[in-house]
Structure 1
C-alpha cells in the first residue's frame, strides 16, 4: 500500500533559493546576527551585501546562467557567501568533499564541467593538482582566504559589482550538483533544482523546531546535503543564528555549545556515541540545548535513550538522502508515542511505499504491528531531477510514476512510523539469510565495554558471508573477543551471530558520520 504524510500539505514557492531565504528579510532582521565563525560574526544585512557583491564579481568574470562552479571548502562564513553568491549569479554549485584527493577532485570537475573552483589555503594543494589535471589553470581558482598569486573572495567583494538581474529564469533551473553513489555504484552528479531545495526547506520548516531565537551549532559539513540544506539553509530561512565548527572535535564542540548557548544541535550517530560515552561531556554546561536532531545514518532507540539521559533535550531522528534534497521523514516533535528509534513520519507533501527487495511487490500493512521489511520508495517535490548525464542510473532509481528507490530496508509501524533496518547494499547474506549490520552495531553499543563498533560482511566458503565486527573498547577494558561474541549470540537469532571480532583504535567514518565499511571489508584477519 501507499503511505501518505499525515501533515497538512505545505505550499511550495516557485522562487529561487536566494529569493526564498533572503528576499523576505524584514528591516528589523537585518541587524540580527546570522553567522558566528570563530571570532567573526555577521548580520543578515551584511551577509546579503557580501553575497550580492560576490555574485556580481562572478558575473563580471564571465559566469553565465547554468555554468557550474566547484566549491571545495570546510564549514565557514566563506562557504555560505560563496554558495549563495554562486546561486545568486545564476550558476550551479557542485560541492566537493574537503578530503578528496586530486584524482577525485579532477574526476568531479571533469564530470560536472565546472568552470571555476573555489577553495581555501588549507586545501589549495589538492585543489590545484585536481584542477590542473582537469584542464583548468590557477586563474580559475578563487580562495576564500588569502594566498599570494590567487584571487581572493575579499578582493572580489570589495569590487562591489552589482549582481545580475533575472539571475534564475525558473525554479526548475539546476541549483546544486552534489555527488552521491545512490543505491549502488560510482558517485554520480545529483541534479537538484531551486524548487527541490526550496520544497525541502518548506517541508522541514513545518516539522523541525528552528526558531528565530535559536542558536544552531553547524558541525556536519555544508558540502553534504544534510549540512547544506537542513542546517545552513533552513536555519537562515528561519532567521536563527549559525555557530560554525569546521570539523567535529569533542572538546571544542562542547565549548561552543556552552559558550554560545546553542539551543539546537544537528548530529550523526557517531557524535551521539561520543556524547553518551565520553567522560568529558560531564565537565560542560549543556543546559541550553533544547533540541537534538540526529540524521545521516540510523540511530538505535537504546542509543537515543542513553543520549537523552545524558542531555535532557527533545531528541528527533530524521531520514534523508542526497537524492531527496534531503529529508523525507522526521520524528514528530509533539508525539511521544512515536519511538525515537524510528525515523518518524513522512514530512508534508511526501508519499512512500515499501516493496519486497526480491520481487518488487508492495509489502502489506499489518494491523497493530510492523510490516515485513522491504525497500522504501519515496515521492515528493524534493525528489531529484535525475543523475547528471546518466539516464540509465536515473531510470533505475526513479520509477515511471515518480517514486525514488532509497536503497534502505525499512519496516512500517502501526502509526505509519518507519524503522530503518539497513541499507540494501550493506546487508550481509549468511546462508541465504539477510543480516542487517546496523542492528548488530546497535546491540554492540549497549555493552559497557564497547566505545564504538562497526559490522561488515566477511567472505566465507560455507556461508557465503559472515558478520565480522570491528570494536573500539572503552579505556582500561580487558574484555575478550569471545565474550563479545557470546554477548551478541545470547540476544540474536543464530544466523545473526558475530563470527569474527577485531579490536581497532577507531572506526573509519565520513565527515557526515557514516561508517566507511569499504575501508573495513577485506582487512586481513
Structure 2
C-alpha cells in the first residue's frame, strides 16, 4: 500500500519548461533582476533573460537544432549557462549537461552515449572540449564557446554570434509528458554513470511539487553555487527559483571566502548547499569574519547531512537549516522539509536527522530488501529499515539505452527503487540510513558508513572523513576510515579508532584508518567511495 505525502496534491501544468517559467510573466516582473554574476556584478533582468533565451533558441534552430537533437552543455555556473540551457530547451532540443571537472575522455564518452551533435562550452574548458568534440566528430562551427572570440576569429561561434543572428524562436510541437528535456548522467559514485531521461513533465512536476514547500519569493536573493549541470542546481535554481521570480546570485565554483563575501555583499536570504559546505560553515574560523545575518534558510541536499553538523551551522549562523532528499532519477527532489521546518503543517519542526516528508503527489514504500515485504508503518517511533521506493510524476522515463537497468530500477507499478536504506517515523518523516550498496557487512551485522562519517566529523581535529568496507587478512569485511586532519593537529590512527569505539556498538568500530589530504567527492558533494576502494588491505 505505501504511505502518501501529507501535503495536498498540487496541479501539474501540461506545458514545457520554458512555458512554465516564462510564458505569461507579469509585466511588473520583467524588470526584476533574474541573475547576478558574482564575479563581475553583471546583472540580467527577466526581460533580458527571456529575450536572450528566445534569440539563442532561434540561432540553434537555424543551425538545425530542434526536436530530437541533443546538445552537450559543458560550463561552470554563469548567466551564460542559464541562457544556453533554456535556449536549448526552448528550441525543442534535449540538453545533456556535463560535469565541468570531466576530462576530454569523460566528455567524449557522454557525448557519444547521448548522441549529441553540438557542444556548448567556455574558454576555460575549451582544450578538453575541443579534444572531445574532435573525437566524436563535432565540427568547429558546432562547438560553441560562449565567452570566446567568435566564429570569424576562431571558427567557434560565441554567445554574441548566437544573439546577433536575430532569428525568431522556433514554433516547436512536442508532448511534455514524453519529450526529453534533459539528459543528466547519474553521478557514478559506485559505478559507470547512466543517462537519466527526464521529460519536460518530470521537471515541471518537480518544480510544482517543491514550490509551496520551499516558499521562495521575488524578494529572495538566492546563492547559486550548486553546479547548474547537476540536477539539484538545475531544478531548484535554474527552474524553481526563476519561476518564483527570485534573484540568483551566481558563483562559478565554491570558495569559502567568496561564498561568505557574496552573502555579505548581496544580502543573500536563501542558500542551497551540499554537506561539504556545511562542514566548512561549521568549522572554519573564516566564517566569523563576515556578516551573514541576512540568511533565512540553508537547504542541504545531494548527500546526507548529519543532524549535529546541521545544528552547529544553524547555531553559528543563526539560520534555519533544512534537509531534503532526492536523486537524478527523481528530477531530483522526492523529500523535503518546508521552509519553516514543518511548524505550520505539523506544529513542530522535523528533526534534522530526517530528510523531511514525501513531496506532494507521491507515494512511498519502505521494503525489506531480504524478504521483499513492505515494512510496517509505525504507530510510534521509527519503522524497521528497508529500501525506499518512490512513485510520482517526478520519476524518470528511464535510463538511456539501458532497458535492463530501467526495469530493475522502476517496477511494473511505477515505483522507483532508490537503492537507499531508510526508515519512517509515526509522523511520516523519512530518515535515510545509507546506500544499500555501501552497507558494510561485518560478522553478519550491517554497518552504515554515513553514521560513522557523521561521528568522525564531530572530532575537533577532523576536517573531513569517509568510511568504506575493506577486506582484512582473514577475508572479513571491516570498516576503514579515511580522515583529513585539521591543519596543525597531530591526530593518530589509534586516537581515531578509540574515539569511535567509545561511542558505537562494538561491531560498528572503525578498524583501520588512513590519513589523506582530501576526500574525493562529486561536484554535488557525494563521497566517491569507488576512488577510495581497494580490493584487499
The TM-score, its normalising length taken from structure 2, stands at 0.95
C-alpha separation between the residues in 2 aligned to 1:179 and 1:464? Answer: 34
Gaps (5+ residues) in structure 2?
A: none
C-alpha separation between the residues in 2 aligned to 1:30 and 1:46? Answer: 8
- 1:69 paired with 2:57, answer no
1:295 aligns with one of 281, 301, 318: 301
Pairwise CA distance, 1:184? 6.5
2:372 aligns with one of 360, 374, 377: 360
C-alpha separation between the residues in 2 aligned to 1:523 and 1:98? Answer: 30
Taking structure 1 as reference, are residues 170 and 209 closer, same or farther at Cα in structure 2, changes over 3 Å only?
Answer: closer
- Equivalent residue, structure 2, for 1:348: 360
C-alpha separation between the residues in 2 aligned to 1:187 and 1:503? Answer: 28
1:40-96 deviations in Å (ceiling 9; x for gaps): 111000100000000000011111212110101111111100000001001000011
2:291 aligns with one of 254, 275, 285: 285
1:120-156 deviations in Å (ceiling 9; x for gaps): 1111111111111112222220111014221111111
Taking structure 1 as reference, are residues 172 and 439 closer, same or farther at Cα in structure 2, changes over 3 Å only?
Answer: same
2:201 aligns with one of 183, 195, 212: 195
SS of the residue 1:42 aligns to: strand
- Equivalent residue, structure 1, for 2:498: 486
SS of the residue 1:151 aligns to: coil
1:338-360 deviations in Å (ceiling 9; x for gaps): 20110010111011101112222
- Answer yes or no: is the 8 Å Cα contact 2:224–2:250 preserved in 1: yes
- 1:499 paired with 2:501, answer no
1:258 aligns with one of 257, 261, 264: 264
SS of the residue 1:164 aligns to: coil
Q: CA-atom RMSD, angstroms?
A: 1.5
Alignment of 1:25-36 (within 5 A): 25-36=25-36
SS of the residue 1:179 aligns to: coil
- Equivalent residue, structure 2, for 1:519: 531
C-alpha separation between the residues in 2 aligned to 1:159 and 1:23? Answer: 23
- 1:307 paired with 2:309, answer no
Gaps (5+ residues) in structure 1?
A: none
- Equivalent residue, structure 2, for 1:56: 58
C-alpha separation between the residues in 1 aligned to 2:492 and 2:169? Answer: 64
Alignment of 1:220-235 (within 5 A): 220-235=226-241
C-alpha separation between the residues in 2 aligned to 1:221 and 1:524? Answer: 35
C-alpha separation between the residues in 2 aligned to 1:432 and 1:137? Answer: 56
C-alpha separation between the residues in 1 aligned to 2:296 and 2:349? Answer: 19
- Answer yes or no: is the 8 Å Cα contact 1:215–1:241 preserved in 2: yes
C-alpha separation between the residues in 2 aligned to 1:20 and 1:111? Answer: 29
C-alpha separation between the residues in 2 aligned to 1:360 and 1:130? Answer: 44
Number of paired residues? 525
1:423-457 deviations in Å (ceiling 9; x for gaps): 11111121222111100000111112212111111
C-alpha separation between the residues in 1 aligned to 2:173 and 2:21? Answer: 15
Pairwise CA distance, 1:337? 4.0
- 1:432 paired with 2:440, answer no
Pairwise CA distance, 1:166? 2.9
C-alpha separation between the residues in 1 aligned to 2:105 and 2:349? Answer: 49
- Answer yes or no: is the 8 Å Cα contact 1:182–1:323 preserved in 2: no
SS of the residue 2:214 aligns to: coil
- Answer yes or no: is the 8 Å Cα contact 2:189–2:527 preserved in 1: no
- 1:211 paired with 2:217, answer yes
The TM-score, its normalising length taken from structure 1, stands at 0.97
1:47 aligns with one of 49, 54, 57: 49
Pairwise CA distance, 1:515? 1.1
- Answer yes or no: is the 8 Å Cα contact 1:183–1:425 preserved in 2: no
- Equivalent residue, structure 1, for 2:7: 7
C-alpha separation between the residues in 1 aligned to 2:105 and 2:515? Answer: 32
- Equivalent residue, structure 2, for 1:317: 323
- Answer yes or no: is the 8 Å Cα contact 1:16–1:171 preserved in 2: no
SS of the residue 1:462 aligns to: coil
- Equivalent residue, structure 2, for 1:116: 118
Deviating more after overlay: 417-426 vs 479-488: 479-488
Alignment of 1:400-415 (within 5 A): 400-415=412-427
C-alpha separation between the residues in 2 aligned to 1:175 and 1:464? Answer: 46
- Equivalent residue, structure 2, for 1:151: 157
- Equivalent residue, structure 2, for 1:391: 403
C-alpha separation between the residues in 2 aligned to 1:463 and 1:416? Answer: 40
C-alpha separation between the residues in 2 aligned to 1:510 and 1:252? Answer: 20
